[in-house]
Amino acid sequence: MDIIYERVAGLDVHKDVIVACVRLTQGGQVERECRSFSTTTAGLLDLLAWLLESRVSHVAMEATGVYWKPVWNILSDGRFELIVANAAHIKNVPGRKTDVNDAMWIADLLACGLIRASFVPDEAFQQLRSLLRARKQLLGEQTRHVQRIQKTLEEANIKLDSVISDVMGVSGRRMIEAMIAGERNPGRLAALADGRIKARPKALYDALHGRLTDHHRFMLRLHLDQYDSLDAAVGKIDQQVDDAIGEMDEEVEAGHAGFRFLIALLCGIPGIRADSAKMILAEIGLDMSRFPTAGHLLAWGGLCPGQNESAGKRKRSRLRKGDHWLKTTMVQCAMGAVKKKDSYYKAQFDRLRAKHGAKKARCAVAASMLTAIYHMIKNGVAHQDLGANHFDKRATDIKVKRLVDQISKLGYQVQLEKAEVAA
């Protein structure tokens, strides 16, 4: 196999140690040298000095959890190209796995140009990613505390979530605070409800008539305090995110779209709000040139089906693995987009749900939305809904063939005749 790079290094990264292999090709001869280094800052600086002394041009390592990030932070200052590779793409031959063999294998693949670099954003985007991912985790924990509150109310035979859509809304929160304070009379609790609640007073009274004990009040107070604490933490993150976005916009060059401009642009898509737009942009970045086509972005985000073909037959396959944070955010946005009437996304969802089910239909809508986002960011254009009748505008022959096939499956024969069109 042809050698592309003559002076390379492969790193096998672990929590406490790094095994490095420098591979040099001189006059058709290959020389390898392996050394181990600590993952402390001092050890990483020693590794950097050794790589610079060896005059390597390219260095590759696996993306192993978060252990690669300290290595990246130190080695990215070197005078060589640093590559982070997907561990699933550079697996060694089974039965020959050692740390030294793994480092040598990575170096050999790199020398032949067989390692594709993963997308690693700059430090500002990495920090923004960390903030928004932490925010999403805290919101998930908030939801779990709401579920624990509902469970405690159920144990007390109080059916509050059956008559109020949001138990942590104004009315629900007011009732729960009163319960914690010692109020047990269902009539007084029902009187705390906002007048706009659709539930009738009798239904509220029956739902609030339970058996609330001191234990239940203690558990409600505990979960409510945790919910409020998480809410305060989310507020701090939001402030930090806004400050980070403001700093990034100040550094944007003239003629380029800023972060806030793109957030407003993405909010024009049904189902996407400002928080979701921030998460999407933090994951994919503002520069779409790193993705040659929209399909490459879909594959990177894990929103396209994997390939499973053998002997000329295509088999069912699941969605590819990709950026978990981007994929889940896009699916959540798709769930909101399909609720908008007379929109392309709702028409697409209804069309695919009948054949493939709601889950796959939502993923397909998420892929369509991400495709639109790719072109919007790349070209700086606003979102244009294709309309609910988009699929009815397709080529007539395709529509006729599809309808004939459907009738044939029902056991009928169809004979088509061209109708004369009145002048």
pTM of the model: 0.85
The span from the CA of 204 to the CA of 41, in Å, is 62
The fold adopted by the segment(s) 7-111 is Nucleotidyltransferase; domain 5 (3.30.420)
Query: pLDDT tens digits, residue range 289-313?
Result: 889 999 999 999 999 887 777 777 7
In the chain, domain spans = 7-111, 125-248, 254-379
Distance CA 397, CA 332 (A): 36
Confidence at residue 254, expressed as pLDDT on a 0 to 100 scale: 58
Query: Residue 137's pLDDT is what?
Result: 96
Write out residues in the chain with pLDDT < 50, as ranges.
423
- pLDDT tens figures, 347-399: 999 989 988 899 999 999 999 999 999 999 999 899 998 888 887 776 677 77
Are 87 and 118 a contacting pair, CB within 8 Å? no
Tokens read off for 308: 């499973």
Distance separating alpha carbons of residues 303 and 157, to the nearest angstrom:
43
